[in-house]
Amino acid sequence: MKNDLILRAARGEKTERTPVWLMRQAGRILPEYRAVRSSVSGFIELCTTPELAAEVTIQPVDLLGVDAAIIFSDILVIPEAMGLPYEMVEKRGPLFPETIKTAADIDKVRVANPVEDLAYVTDAIKIVKKELDGSVPLIGFAGAPFTIFCYMVEGSGSKTFSKAKKMLYTAPELAHKLLQKITDSTILYLKEQIKAGADMIQIFDSWAGILSPAQYSAFATPYIKQICDAINEVPVTVFAKGAFFARKELAALNCNTIGLDWNMDAKESREIIGWDRTLQGNLDPCALYGSAKDVEQATKEMLDQFGPHKHIANLGHGVYPDIDPEKVKVFIETVKEYSTELASKA
């Protein structure tokens, strides 16, 4: 691997500078992505066509200069492989025509067979690995079980996910049964991603923040723990958006890196999490709406907070589609230059 900074940082080694990538970097911020996207019927066709998924995975590496690629796919391929297909509705987001409501619905969904049903993802990973030719590592990913559960029960995005949360309160044993099926599917899927060439794994718990601390301990962490305990081949990052209250619990997981959103203070997080884990994050994605000078300043302040080691620079959530790619480049270049300075002084 020519540039293995992110793998070394994830393993807790000292690096000559801080590695940088962006959640949702493979996507709509790039005109080059939109060109490929408009050549197909929709998002799902792009995901299921390995050559095209590979092409848009590599675009941000070439065009933005990030230190890792992330496979172009979606967390919702797991419910689909379990027998609950989704649609991606233009300007509205994901929609599941059928949702999980009863015990019978849960019995009907199966543990995914990724070798058969998700070969389009592993095929894309193999193409990406060949084309990257060791230039930077490739990140594989999956949704955390609770976040996937939210979509399977709710059927679409939601501010509150109240239908999904209702099941936690009214039928917790059913919720656990579904969460376990999702977890079993996810472990098999991530193992296949690693076999195909993924160099590290990120678990996205995008809706972690809607749970109380007690519910997070009961319905989210135990399943993420099973995944972390099962994946020992490559470094694992756990990103639980909004779960500031669970940082201590997440720090006890068998993972390498904890992702922070912009609500989580870097220094406070370091105190809670300790020095055995690498931290990832956490510039507010909206900071990239500022001028180039503002972006540079905000990025430097973020790097000062984390210090030069055991940090992977990123935003605190995915980059927004209307961000100017030039501002993304300022973020990336500032990380590269300023963290080199910090590391050389440390």
- Residues involved in catalysis: 24, 28, 37, 74, 151
Following DSSP, what letter does each residue of 21-60 receive, concatenated?
--TT-SSTT-HHHHHHHTTSS-HHHHHT-HHHHHHHHHHH
What is the distance, to the nearest Å, from the Cα of residue 42 to the centroid of all Cα atoms in its chain? 22
Work out how close the CB of 90 gets to ligand CP3 at its nearest, in angstroms, rounded to a whole number: 7
Q: CB under 8 Å to 119, separation ≥6 — which residues?
A: none
Work out how close the CB of 321 gets to ligand CP3 at its nearest, in angstroms, rounded to a whole number: 7
Work out how close the CB of 184 gets to ligand CP3 at its nearest, in angstroms, rounded to a whole number: 20
Judged by DSSP in three states, 147 sits in: helix
Work out how close the CB of 277 gets to ligand CP3 at its nearest, in angstroms, rounded to a whole number: 20
Gyration radius of the chain over CA positions:
19
Residue with smaller CB distance to ligand CP3, 109 or 201: 201
Residue with smaller CB distance to ligand CP3, 23 or 52: 23
CB of 195 within 8 A of CB of 117?
A: no
Work out how close the CB of 248 gets to ligand CP3 at its nearest, in angstroms, rounded to a whole number: 22
Q: CB under 8 Å to 151, separation ≥6 — which residues?
A: 76, 79, 86, 94, 96, 143, 157
Residue with smaller CB distance to ligand CP3, 26 or 211: 26
Residue with smaller CB distance to ligand CP3, 151 or 338: 151
* The amino acid at 14: K
Work out how close the CB of 189 gets to ligand CP3 at its nearest, in angstroms, rounded to a whole number: 14
Element (H, E) at 307: none
Q: Is the dihedral of CA 317, 288, 91, 88 positive or negative?
A: negative
Kindly list the residues in this chain that would bind ligand CP3 in the complex (CB under 6 A): 23-28, 37, 43, 70, 72, 74-76, 88, 93-94, 141, 157, 204, 206, 318
Residue with smaller CB distance to ligand CP3, 142 or 168: 142
CB of 300 within 8 A of CB of 331?
A: no
Residue with smaller CB distance to ligand CP3, 9 or 76: 76
Report the distance separating Cα 10 and Cα 20, nearest Å.
12
Torsion of CA 28, 29, 34, 35, to 10 degrees: -150
